[in-house]
């Protein structure tokens, strides 16, 4: 049994209005994706890393692998048009054992703690499929210009990554989605759609995804604060 991290990195990051995707932008002199990859490189429970990416960034990724000694990167494969396509390309890039675990994580979610990663992996050993979620804390409002209604927050979570699945289950879920022409926004939706249970693991606020430029500024401040306290 092996634990394989799949880091989909083919997104364009259109909301950034940047000439290059956000995951390749430098933060304090180092590409954003490197911070993410180092989390998995430094985790004892991770055996290898597969990166689905736009082919024009293959050379950059290989250079980053060498520069930062990210030795667990085993394959860099062609990404797809959508996240779903990219992850599928990642999990079919080589032959896996049915009982391997696939750990899917956003390239632009660089502050995942090793503790949370290990907790999630060990929970997956017990339940097969887990998703890290952050419990909603604020009042939830539905509406556009005006308030239409309020949502009960006690059972509402914000999905994060990593999302971890036993390989056989995840592959079956992708095949079912293909047969049904079903598109999901993340892997837990695919697995749930295929009839499998997905357990919730409580996430951490610090495990946020860099989505807009203001998130990048926030990340820089956190990294500066962290480095100054060491």
Relative to beta strand 48-53, strand 73-78 is: parallel
pLDDT score of 207: 96
Please count the other Cβ atoms lying within 10 Å of the Cβ belonging to residue 211.
15
pLDDT tens digits, one per residue of 214-224: 999 899 999 98
Structure tokens at 213: 């430029």
Alpha-carbon span 19 to 217, nearest angstrom: 18
- pLDDT of 163 reads 98
Domain count, the chain: 1
- Show the low-confidence residues of the chain (pLDDT under 50): none
Alpha helices in 45-128, H assignment, sequence order: 58-67, 83-91, 114-127
Q: What is the CATH number of the domain that holds 55?
A: 3.90.550.10
* Measured distance CA(157)–CA(208) in Å, rounded: 14
- The single residue listed with the structure tokens 């990554």 is 161
Q: Which pLDDT does position 156 carry in this prediction?
A: 85
pLDDT per position as a tens digit, 70-97? 999 999 999 999 999 999 999 999 999 9
pLDDT for residue 202:
96
Q: Which pLDDT value is given to residue 194?
A: 98
Angle in degrees, CA 90, 189, 121, rounded to 5: 60
Rounded distance between C-alpha atoms, residue 140 and residue 117, angstroms: 28
Domain enclosing residue 71, as ranges: 3-229
H-only helix segments in 15-148: 32-41, 58-67, 83-91, 114-127
| pLDDT for the residue numbered 15 | 67
CA distances for 58 relative to 78, 87, 104, 134, angstroms: 9, 16, 19, 33
- Adjacent-strand bridge partners of 164: 103, 130
**Report field, pTM of the whole predicted structure over 0.85:** yes
């Amino acid at each position: 049994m092996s634990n394989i991290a799949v880091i989909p990195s083919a997104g364009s990051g259109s909301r950034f209005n940047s000439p290059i995707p956000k995951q390749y932008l430098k933060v304090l002199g180092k590409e954003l994706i490197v911070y993410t990859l180092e989390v998995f490189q430094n985790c004892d429970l991770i055996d290898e890393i597969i990166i689905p990416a736009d082919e024009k960034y293959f050379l950059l990724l290989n250079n980053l692998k060498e520069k930062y000694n990210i030795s667990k990167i085993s394959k860099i494969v062609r990404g797809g048009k959508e996240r779903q396509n990219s992850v599928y390309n990642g999990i079919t890039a080589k032959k896996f054992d049915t009982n391997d675990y696939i750990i899917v994580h956003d390239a632009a979610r660089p502050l995942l703690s090793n503790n949370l990663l290990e907790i999630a992996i060990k929970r997956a050993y017990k339940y097969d499929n887990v998703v890290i979620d952050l419990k909603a804390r604020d009042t939830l409002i539905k509406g556009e210009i005006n308030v239409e209604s309020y949502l009960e927050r006690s059972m509402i979570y914000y999905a994060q990554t990593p999302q971890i699945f036993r390989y056989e289950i995840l592959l079956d879920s992708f095949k079912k989605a293909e047969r049904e022409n079903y598109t999901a926004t993340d892997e837990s939706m695919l697995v749930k759609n295929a009839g499998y249970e997905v357990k919730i693991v409580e996430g951490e606020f610090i495990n946020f995804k860099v989505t807009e430029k203001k998130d990048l500024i926030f990340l820089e401040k956190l990294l500066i604060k962290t480095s100054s306290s060491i």
